[in-house]
Amino acid sequence: MSLSRKKRIVAIDFGTKRIGFAVSDPLRLFAQPTGTFDRAELFEKLELMTRDEEIDKIIVGYPLNDDGTQNRMTGVIDRFIEELALVFPGLPVERVDEHRSSRDAMQILAASGISRKERNRKGRLDCAAACVILREYLEAHR
């Protein structure tokens, strides 16, 4: 594996209330949670990230059912991805299966010793789910 510096990847866990973000390190080895945002501030925050963090790819969690079929949220995500392509035309956007990311994130938070109250705090799970999505993507592309 080459350790040459690359640009970062941002992962988005898009929810109806909050949107979780995670970003890779420049070597694309690790996923780091970066916060949650609401829809109103999403594109402004993403614009800052793409500039300040040298982002060259966006991956978006795509919520397929366990059997691989689409559901109500996949249509919402498809429209969001179309909007991303219009706002950031030079930035590739990829869909990544996320059907277990929230469950996995909750298990990770529980195993880390974080209290149930803290795990349920607004945004904690969304941010952790974005990290899970990005970690799995990075592992699959090594």
pLDDT in tens, 107-117: 665 666 666 66
pLDDT at res. 16? 79
On whether residue 2 sits in a domain, the answer given is no
Q: pLDDT below 70 — which residues of the chain? A: 1-5, 99, 101-125
Residue 95 β-bridge partners: 60
On whether residue 3 sits in a domain, the answer given is no
pLDDT at res. 4? 62
Query: Which residue segment(s) compose the domain that 133 sits in?
Result: 8-140
Q: The domain that contains 28 carries what CATH number?
A: 3.30.420.140
On whether residue 101 sits in a domain, the answer given is yes
On whether residue 128 sits in a domain, the answer given is yes
On whether residue 1 sits in a domain, the answer given is no
Residue 94 β-bridge partners: 59
How many C-beta neighbours within 10 Å does residue 66 have? Answer: 7
On whether residue 91 sits in a domain, the answer given is yes
In b/e form, how buried is each residue of 26-51, taking b as 16+ CB within 10 angstroms?
A: eebeebebbbbbeeeebeebbeebbe
Total domain count for the chain?
A: 1
